[in-house]
Amino acid sequence: MKKSCAALAVALVLASCGSRTAPGGAKQMVIGVSLLNLSSEFIVMLNRAMEDKARQLGVRLIVNDAQRSAERQVQQVESFIAQRVDAIILNPCEVEASSPAVDKALAAGIPIVNVNSETRSTPTAFVGSRDEESARLAMDYIARRLNGRGNVVMMHGFMGQAAQLKRDQGAREVLAKYPGLKLLAEQTAEWDRAKAIALMENWLQSHGAAIHAVFAQNDEMAMGAVLALEQARRKDKVIVAGVDAIADALRAVRDGRLDATVFQDAAGQGAGAVETAVKILKKEPYEKQLYLPFQLVTRENVSQYLK
């Protein structure tokens, strides 16, 4: 029994070291991809765009899911290096903790492209968006709707994550610009819709009619706030804005339940990352830093974004 198990294991390992020759005989480029977390809708869209572009360019992707663990991400990159991939695309978990992955890739002479989030270490290239911008757009929208005066509450993502830090920064820049805007309360709902519902319910108890607007750092939490407000029959008096433009949020904007969200071009980022990696490998000119703009989505323009 043990011998046949061992034989099976060896056979599987050998089989997985597949041929790297593309049709036509030329050696196919292999890019290792380490993603932050495939149970996030945004990252799923990012991945899909990468795979589409890879198929288009005839490049092979090895996609790993770091499941939010920077440690696992570093291990995955080490594994890519050992497999001698041609390039690596990194969707970093954390600014500091994912930096060793970048360092190791560069030390091994393998080009590495960061997508969507930054690391402290500088990669060969970066394709993404400036998260502060997304928060600035949402908060500016709230400020305009409130005519520069009013009380805002802010729902944070996981404390310490790059997206949370940047969006917090962007939001505070706008708050500083408008002295009539007051940050009444802020708390983390950990990017989670259910936690956001409970948080909004509790805030309504503490502050009630004093809340004029809610800025949630992502759409899941914004939807939670909307649900709680609708249940308390206060949604018509409170403005809610989120970030991400997930399908649920776009529908909610169209139906007038959510006031605004911010579209992050997942498709553009994913495709851009693969394109940049291929350009680097083909020694063609590439942009070291490619920033795709965020776009504010409100009822006026939501039809552009709905599929």
Partner 1 sequence: MAFPSSPRWTGQAGLILALVALGGALSLATPNFLTVPNLINLVRQISINGILAVGVTLVLLTGGVDLSLGSLVALSGVAAAHLAQAPGAVAFPALLGMATGAACGALSGLVVTRGGVAPFVVTLGMMTVARGLALVLSGGRPVSNLNPQFTRLGGGDVAGIPLPVLVLAAVAVIAHVFLRHLRFGRYIYAVGGNEKAARASGVDVHGVKLFAYTLCGALAGLAGVVLAARITTGQPNAGVGYELDAIAAAVIGGASLAGGAGGIGGTVLGALLMGVINNGLDLLNVSSYYQQIVKGLIIVGAVWLDRGKEK
* Piece of the chain touching partner 1 by CB under 8 A; list 165-173, 197-205, 266-274, 289-297: 197-205
Shortest Å, Cβ 104 to partner 1: 28
Residue 223 binds partner 1 (CB under 8 A): yes
Say how far apart CA 154 and CA 176 lie, in whole Å: 14
Binding mask 248-277 for partner 1 (x = CB under 8 A): x--x--------------------------
Nearer to partner 1, 33 or 246 (CB): 246
DSSP codes, the chain:
-HHHHHHHHHHHHHHHS---BPTTSSBPPEEEEEES-TTSHHHHHHHHHHHHHHHHHT-EEEEEE-TT-HHHHHHHHHHHHHTT-SEEEE--S-TTTTHHHHHHHHHTT--EEEEES--SS--SEEEE--HHHHHHHHHHHHHHHTTT-EEEEEEE-STT-HHHHHHHHHHHHHHHH-TTEEEEEEEE-TT-HHHHHHHHHHHHHHHGGG--EEEESSHHHHHHHHHHHHHTT-GGG-EEE-SB--HHHHHHHHTTSS-BEEE--HHHHHHHHHHHHHHHHTT----SEEEPPPEEE-TTTHHHH--
Pick from 8, 22, 27, 39: which binds partner 1 (CB under 8 A)?
39
Q: Is 69 in the site for partner 1 (CB under 8 A)?
A: no
Per-residue binder mask for partner 1 (CB under 8 A), 87-116, x = binder? ------------------------------
Site for partner 1 contains 227 (CB under 8 A): yes
Q: Does 202 bind partner 1 (CB under 8 A)?
A: yes
Segment 15 to 34, residues that bind partner 1, using CB under 8 A:
none
Interface stretch with partner 1, choices 56-64, 201-209, 273-281, 287-295 (CB under 8 A): 201-209
CB of 141 to partner 1, least distance (A): 24
- Should residue 141 be labelled a site residue for partner 1 when binding is judged by CB under 8 A? no
Size of the site for partner 1 (CB under 8 A): 27
Q: Which of 231, 289, 301, 304 binds partner 1 (CB under 8 A)?
A: 231
Contacting residues toward partner 1, per CB under 8 A: 38-41, 44, 159, 185, 187-188, 193-194, 197-199, 201-203, 205-206, 223-224, 227, 231, 246-248, 251
